[in-house]
Amino acid sequence: MAAATAETPPRLPELLESGWRLLEEVDASTEPSSGAPALQDKVRRGLDLLQQAARGVAQLDLFSQNEDLEEIASADLKYLLLPALLGALTMKQVNLSKRLEHVQSARAHFMDFLKLCKNYQIGKFHLPPMPESPNENEPRESTSGAGPAGRQSSLVAMASSRQAKIERYKQKKEVENRLASMKAFLESGQAEEEQIREFYMLQIQKWITTSLEEIESIDQEMVILRGRNALKQASAPPQTSQHPRTAMKPFILTRDAMQAKVLGAGYPSLATMTVNDWYEQRCKQGIMPDKGNPLTAAANLSEEELQKEQQEKKVEEDDEETLQKIRAWEDWKDTHPKGYGNRKNMG
The answer to whether the CB of 234 falls within 8 A of the CB of 123 is no
**Do β-strands 271-274 and 251-254 pair in parallel, antiparallel, or remain unpaired?**
parallel
Per-residue pLDDT of the chain (347 residues; tens, 9 = 90+): 334 334 556 799 999 999 999 999 999 998 888 889 999 999 999 999 999 999 999 999 989 888 899 999 999 999 999 999 999 999 999 998 999 999 999 999 999 999 999 999 998 899 999 887 655 444 444 444 455 666 666 777 677 677 777 877 888 888 888 888 888 878 877 888 899 999 999 999 999 999 999 999 999 999 999 998 888 888 767 665 555 556 656 555 555 565 555 555 444 555 566 777 777 877 777 766 555 554 444 444 455 566 677 767 665 555 677 777 777 877 777 777 766 665 555 54
pLDDT at site 87: 97
Question: In whole angstroms, how far apart are CA 90 and each of 20, 21, 172?
Answer: 13, 15, 22
Phi and psi for 251 in degrees, rounded to 5?
-155, 165
Q: For the chain, what are the domain ranges?
A: 12-129+167-232
pLDDT at site 187: 80
The answer to whether the CB of 12 falls within 8 A of the CB of 53 is yes
What is the value of pTM for the model shown? 0.61
pLDDT at site 141: 44
pLDDT at site 333: 77
Domain 12-129+167-232 in this protein, CATH class: mainly alpha
Alpha helix (H) ranges present in the chain? Answer: 2-5, 12-27, 37-60, 82-91, 99-119, 148-187, 193-235, 257-266, 275-284, 294-299, 303-316, 320-335
